[in-house]
Amino acid sequence: MFELPLDKFYKTDSKCKPCKLEYSRAWAKANPEKYKQRWQKQNKRRWIEQKQDQAYMNKRAVYFKANSEKRTARAKAWNQTNRQKYNIHVTTSKIKRRLSKDAKAFIILDKEFRRLYASICVFCGSREKIGMNHNIPISRAGNHSIGNLQPVCRSCSTRKKNKLVSEYKYYLKTLDTNR
């Protein structure tokens, strides 16, 4: 048995520095997620700088380019298995982009979105490919609020475009009389 000098030990630990280092590396390999979180917490400034560092961003870009098909396949699989969440996400993100400059945005709860998607189309009564549409289009000073939303199938939504509900119903009536 051999003895090590005191400078080879930490003040708060009974293990020597080389043993502690070996133990820490083994723990980091065994617990990569916890290690990452701990590292980010302890090195917050460095982590932020690293994210903003151009070389780091280039390295990420190379990774994303090399694994784009794998990432796309994973995203498509998730979108297929979580169709309702995906539809809500797409719709809300489009609306958020449109309303980013507009102060007339209201928060709509997921529960209200689910209720809309579970409804039938207000124009044709279809249950297929239900989305949401604004009674008064945002492009015509309408609000993005639950009171201004209605469940509409995709085909009716594309035909309605930015018409008011009354204009769209008149348009449908003229289509019927022309037949």
Q: CATH number of the domain that 114 lies in?
A: 1.10.30
Look at residue 96 in the predicted model and tell me its pLDDT: 65
Inside any domain, residue 128? yes
Inside any domain, residue 114? yes
Q: Report which secondary-structure segment, H or E, holds 117.
A: helix 110-118
Look at residue 169 in the predicted model and tell me its pLDDT: 87
Calculate Rg over the CA atoms of the chain.
28
Q: Which residues contact 146 (CB under 8 A, 6 or more apart)?
A: 106, 108, 112
Q: What is the pLDDT of residues 124-156, one digit of tens each?
A: 899 888 888 888 887 777 777 888 889 999 889
Q: Total domain count for the chain?
A: 2
| Dihedral angle, C-alpha 26, 28, 32, 37, nearest 10 ° | 160
Q: Is the domain of 55 the same as that of 131?
A: no
Q: What is the pLDDT of residues 36-68, one digit of tens each?
A: 888 888 888 887 777 777 777 788 888 888 998
How far is it, in rounded angstroms, from Cα 34 to Cα 50? 19
- Please give the residue range of the domain that contains residue 173: 78-178
- 175 or 74: whose pLDDT is higher? 74
Contact, 151 vs 130, CB < 8 A? yes
Contact, 163 vs 152, CB < 8 A? no
Q: Is the domain of 136 the same as that of 62?
A: no
Q: Is the domain of 116 the same as that of 171?
A: yes
How far is it, in rounded angstroms, from Cα 15 to Cα 24? 12
Q: Is the domain of 154 the same as that of 112?
A: yes
Q: Is the domain of 125 the same as that of 149?
A: yes
